[in-house]
Amino acid sequence: MQARHILFSALAAGALASGVLGQTAVQAPGETPAPTARDQAPKPPVPPGRDPGGVAIALIGTGIDYTLPDVASRLARDGEGELIGWDLQDQDRKPFAARQGHARPGPGDGTGIAELLLGAPGVRLVPVRVAPGDPVGLARALAFVAQTPARVAVLAMGSPSPAHWEPLRQAAQRFRQVLIVVPAGQGSEPTHAAALGLDNVLPVAPGSARAEPADIGAVAGHTAAAVAAASAAAELLAREPGLEAAALKRRLAEGGGGAFWQVQR
């Protein structure tokens, strides 16, 4: 019964977001469409398991390799052991993408970002796969997340184009119970979510310390900062599970991330 409810929630999320937005997917200029199930090798099954417990964090990105033991053991699951996650591209419960070989994850390396998130104790993962350059897909992903146990979502993709901001703005306003943690972008070019200025959107930038080698680049640093902020949010929710998204954002902004991350104001 619970597994069927999660499946219904995923399908309903698409319909709900479509009703709110009244838009169709938009491809970013010059961006290559992400492969669908028809374009790539068959996706592997999700390994069997049980829910590990802990604070659920959603990762909205390009997919993860959920077959890796350290990832599979920390996936959020329902009472029947089914993954609580969704693939918006293929409309199934297999948000899979093969791991990339980066030493430090950037926006396109969902598995690397997941491993960073799961480095924090007491965190379980709700993975959601979205095509790059699909702002309506991001909004639908947020609609799905709002129906899961996750109250924090890391948005591991972005765009400096204001034309792509509106779908997510509408969804974020509709689903205010979810705190959306986003890389703030660089200089005068914020990511689409960082520019929204909403109570449940937390744009973060790297702090004074740089955990990655200098040659990795600022994008990886911003991604790592978003992960660190989401981990701090999970720690707060573990102590105070009743915190609403706006209050959680205020607490994080007041406490700050020290040398590792900072709120972009």
Query: What pLDDT, on a 0 to 100 scale, did the predictor assign at position 218?
Result: 39
Q: Which architecture, in CATH terms, is 2-26+42-263? A: 3-Layer(aba) Sandwich (3.40)
Extract the tokens encoding 182: 């986003």
Q: What is the pLDDT along the chain (265 residues), one digit of tens a residue?
A: 454 445 445 544 554 544 544 444 434 334 444 555 455 678 999 999 999 999 999 999 999 999 999 999 999 999 999 999 999 999 999 999 988 765 555 556 889 999 999 998 999 999 999 998 888 999 999 999 999 999 999 998 776 677 777 888 899 999 999 999 988 865 555 565 666 778 999 988 887 655 443 333 334 677 888 899 999 999 999 999 999 999 999 999 998 777 678 887 6
The domain ranges of the chain are 2-26+42-263
- Does the pTM surpass 0.95? The reply is no
**Measuring CA to CA, how many Å separate 192 from each of 186, 246, 265?**
12, 19, 14
pLDDT at residue 36 in the model = 54
Closest CA to 60 of 101, 29, 17: 17
What are the residues whose beta carbons fall under 8 Å from the beta carbon of 209, sequence distance 6 or more?
259, 260
Phi-psi region of 22 (alpha: psi -120 to 50; beta: other; left: phi over 0): left
CB 96 within 8 A of CB 61: no
Among 191, 119, 133, 122, CA closest to 162: 191
